[in-house]
Structure 1
Amino acid sequence: MEPVTFSESGGIRYLHFGTELIQGAMRIRDPNEIYLEYNQQMMAWLLFLETKPGMRVAQLGLGTGALTKFTHLHCPAVKSTVVELNPAVIVSARSMFSMPDDDRRLETIQTDAKAFVKSSKYKNSFDAVQVDLYDAICDGPSASSLEFYKGCYNILKAPGVLTVNLFSRHKSFDINLKNICEAFDNRVLLFPESHDCNVVAIAFKGPKLEAEWRDVSARAKLIKAKTDLPTHQWVSGISRENVRQESKLSI
């Protein structure tokens, strides 16, 4: 297991895996804020799914717990399942990054995400799955095979949404994107690259989705009003970045 280390600068606390590379961050005076832009975009499933009692979300890779904390605070109807292999990451999320302990809406499972998605126990179990799996080298996702992404597809309900953090300026990007597209029948959208070279992919399971962008924008404004996520940039970015999506959302 990689060693878990920390640093602080300008009121921001950072998570590292024994190197200077950043694995997550938290604004100390506002621990429930999602500080990093790509992390914010990982919540984009909210654009396409209404939260309701019984909804389940899986977070593969815990990091600082930013997504888990956000969902726990802003989506009270949702039960989150966190999958994290490194026990030190789980401890640090709770002790250094203000992640709540497990309760009726939050369960933490210490296991390998690749084994988790292959388990028949979780087939068709989750409305949304968020994948942010990186190791100390941080040169691409640590789970990237077609088998892994087919597992992500299988644990999703229909309709269901997958969000994945990819590293754009590395050979792993094309490999991951190809495998996501194959697993999800090419029903994949991309955010524009963020300033830290991360690109978030959104993949869909279930019936075809068609919507006017103005309706998606109205949904984005509602989410911003309720959660303060910077969703005002999401719709324009997604519609510009993806071919054949300029006039309306059709995927």
Structure 2
Amino acid sequence: MSKTKNNKPPAWAPATLSEFEGVRFLHLDSIWVQGAMRIRKPQQLELEYIQRMMVWMLWRESAQVREGHAIQLGLGAAAITRFCHKVLRMQTTAVEINPTVISACRAWFHLPEDDGRLRVVNADAARWVQEPEHLQSAQVLNIDLYDHDAASPVLDDEDFYRHCHGLLADGGLMTVNLFGRDASFARSATRIARVFGSDQVWSLAPTKEGNTIVVAARGVQVPEREELERRAATIESQYGLPARKWLRLVRPLPLNLIQQLRA
């Protein structure tokens, strides 16, 4: 964790909560929602964009969905961390810079203590992804790094995405939460594509709130449509996620972005 010049830890935005109609919401000293959990179904993925962050499951064979190491950069309300650890039962690591978020998730959002399959790290993701011991350690990487106003990604340059690419083992998959109704989406998607290659990057149509999920892969062959449909049906039946809807929403990068990359 970085420190200020007077050697004191930085002052983090405090985590707070609200509840409405059986759902608990995480905030960071603002009205903006940083995550949510249905109180009686804590392992359920409540927010639509968080559900879509699991779209990587379509690119993995059904028998291999649960295999490997899943890393989250940005803990939020720990929804993806709980799902990967408790439902998929994957080796799971979450990296979160704000210690009050980790404390809030443990107190209010059913985040368990670390165990043989779970590790929650209080660290700066920008530095963590550069550490040599993490190279090619992940089969799945989920990135949801926004400031306390939920206005823009905190880490969003080519150097960061290059280190993210390095985290992935061959065949690994990354999902990133971006806002798709803003010019910043085109910039972010272009940066990702420059690192991963335009044929290894896809996006979903924006949610009604404007969140667009980008998928990027390290050396993945896209299955035939019929196989993707089989996988989507399996995901829906086993995990209750709307994977057939995801399949309708997935698209390659827009042609104008690909042309910019080739220019």
The TM-score normalised by the length of structure 2 is 0.87
Q: What does residue 56 of structure 1 align with?
A: 69
Q: What does residue 108 of structure 2 align with?
A: 96
Runs of 4+ in 1 over 3 A off after TM superposition: 241-244
Q: Aligned partners of 1:222, 1:141: CA distance in 2, in Å? A: 32
Shift of 1:210: 3.1
Q: Aligned partners of 2:225, 2:59: CA distance in 1, in Å? A: 12
Match of 1:41 among 47, 52, 57: 52
1:112 to 2:124 alignment: yes
**Identity fraction in percent:** 34
Q: What does residue 80 of structure 2 align with?
A: 67
1:136 to 2:139 alignment: no
Instruction: Letter of the 1:44 partner, please give it.
Output: V
1:213–1:235 Cα contact (<8 Å) kept: no
Give the number of the structure whose alpha-carbon radius of gyration is greater. Answer: 2
Q: What does residue 25 of structure 1 align with?
A: 36
Gaps of 5+ in 1: 245-251
Question: Where do residues 210-249 of structure 1 align in structure 2 (5 Å cutoff)?
Answer: 210-239=222-251
Helix, strand or coil for the counterpart of 2:160?
A: helix
Shift of 1:63: 0.5
Q: Aligned partners of 1:168, 1:243: CA distance in 2, in Å? A: 12
2:53–2:176 Cα contact (<8 Å) kept: yes
Shift of 1:52: 5.1
1:168–1:199 Cα contact (<8 Å) kept: yes
Q: What does residue 191 of structure 2 align with?
A: 179
The TM-score normalised by the length of structure 1 is 0.91
**Change beyond 3 A, Cα 1:165–1:179:** same
Q: Aligned partners of 1:175, 1:120: CA distance in 2, in Å? A: 28
1:13 to 2:27 alignment: no
Shift of 1:118: 1.1
Shift of 1:68: 0.8
Helix, strand or coil for the counterpart of 1:158?
A: strand
Q: Aligned partners of 2:112, 2:194: CA distance in 1, in Å? A: 36
The number of equivalent residue pairs is 240
Shift of 1:170: 3.2
1:32–1:69 Cα contact (<8 Å) kept: yes
Q: Can you list the C-alpha shifts for 1:194-241, whole angstroms capped at 9, x where unaligned? A: 01110000001025x1322121011011111111111120111115x7
Give the RMSD, CA atoms, in angstroms. 1.5
Instruction: Letter of the 1:95 partner, please give it.
Output: A
**Change beyond 3 A, Cα 1:220–1:120:** same
